[in-house]
Amino acid sequence: MVTDAGESGASLGERVASLTADLVEYRTTEDRPAEIDACLSHVLDFFADEAVDVERFDHAGVPSAVVSLDGSRSPELVFHGHLDVVSAADSLFTPRYIDDGELSGRGTADMKGGLAAMMHVVRDLSRRADPPSLALMVVTDEERGGHHGARYLLDEAGYDPAFCITGEPNNLDGYLDIVHRQKGVIRLDLTATGASAHAATPEQGENAIAALMDAHPEIRAVFAAEDDDWPTTVNYGLIEGGTSVNQVPDTATLRLDVRYPDADARDRVLTALRAIDGLTVESAGHGAPVDTDPDDPYVRGLQRHAERVIGRDVNLVRKPHTSDLRHFAAHGVPGVAFGPEAYGSHEGYEYLVLDSVPDYCRTLAAFAEGAPYSSSSQ
């Protein structure tokens, strides 16, 4: 068991790697709900013979589940993980072990590897005579906003933990860093309008695509002006315009993915974009930033246990990626992103560093066993 000092790191790592590989083989993309259901069943079957409470939920056709060690909807700790992944080539859904200690495949980093580790920790802790107040929340819609998973479980199903760890990987430099700040995200549709005409007589129309292209230098200037040490960034994610090549398009839309550190930065960018002539600006989705107090007793407790396990300093860091932590923050629940070492989320080569798994599991176990935390326990 994770809490058994006699188990080798190699044995613990092999357990988690094997389960991760099993989960990766499920193609849990948004367009495959049957695969998502089957993968969630695989997770719950893992706990079939254990002394745990299991609740399975479905909201708007999106399944989720909570595995609890004490049956409480207000546990001290929630470990959070998601099964859904972004699309990828067929080959990425066949996990591969690489010679230098990597397990590659879609979801190994984001975040079936972290979830598999959490599953083993929760199951091992459930076998203790006096298990901690701990629940594992498993959701399947984090990649598309988490509204029917984490947000539903918190706001409608009534879960209210004291603290949350989501097993998202750091993806950046730093071994087992603890992410306490994450940027917010807002998806914006910038639309230019014109008047349709035949392509043979373009002067009789107003080309919306051309208008959008003309506005691009001003759009780019808005983000170039964001030069703080943690600036607002933009990705031009989608562009749509026109219905036929022989017709002057009367509408064109550019969808932006904007990552911002705080509300002031968000409002500054929105104001500047809305001041550009000829464009309408509409929000197509929003997620607030996360800014957990680094001196929160649970944060410090996790840092302390991690440093004891790995024998080196563990940093509290910020990260531009978003996660379901925003739903916990909006619900008043502090939390951090803390996952095993893994890289390549959403990329063509995604992998879990297997040597990090024992340290990660032992840190989670020690942290859960040490709860609750208060200012006097730091």
- Rounded to whole angstroms, the Cα distance separating 81 from 61 reads 19
For domain 184-287, give its CATH number from 3.40.50.11540, 3.20.20.150, 3.30.70.360, 3.30.465.10.
3.30.70.360
Cis peptide before 202 (omega within 30 of 0): no
pLDDT given at position 1? 63
**What are the CA-CA distances from residue 67 to residues 44, 54, 126, 205, 312 (Å)?**
8, 5, 10, 60, 32
Task: For 37-87, write each residue's pLDDT tens digit.
Answer: 999 999 999 999 999 999 999 999 999 999 999 999 999 999 999 999 999
pLDDT at residue 375, rounded to an integer: 65
What are the CA-CA distances from residue 191 to residues 252, 258, 269 (Å)?
A: 6, 16, 16
| Residue 24 and residue 115 in contact, taking contact as beta carbons nearer than 8 Å | no
Look at residue 10 in the predicted model and tell me its pLDDT: 86
Please identify every stretch of the chain with a pLDDT value under 70, giving residue numbers as ranges.
1-6, 99, 375-378
pLDDT of 5 reads 60
Give the per-residue pLDDT at 73: 97
* pLDDT the model gives residue 3: 57
Show me where the domains of the chain are located.
Answer: 12-182+290-370, 184-287
Peptide bond into 111 cis (omega under 30): yes
Report how far residue 355's alpha carbon sits from residue 85's, in angstroms, rounded to the nearest whole number: 23
- Kindly state which CATH superfamily the domain 12-182+290-370 is placed in: Zn peptidases (3.40.630.10)
The pLDDT, as a whole number, for residue 112 is 97
> Residue 252: what pLDDT?
98
pLDDT digits (tens, 9 = 90+) for 210-269: 999 999 999 999 999 988 899 999 999 999 999 999 999 999 999 999 999 999 999 999
Model pLDDT, residue 7: 82
Q: What is the model's pLDDT at position 276?
A: 97
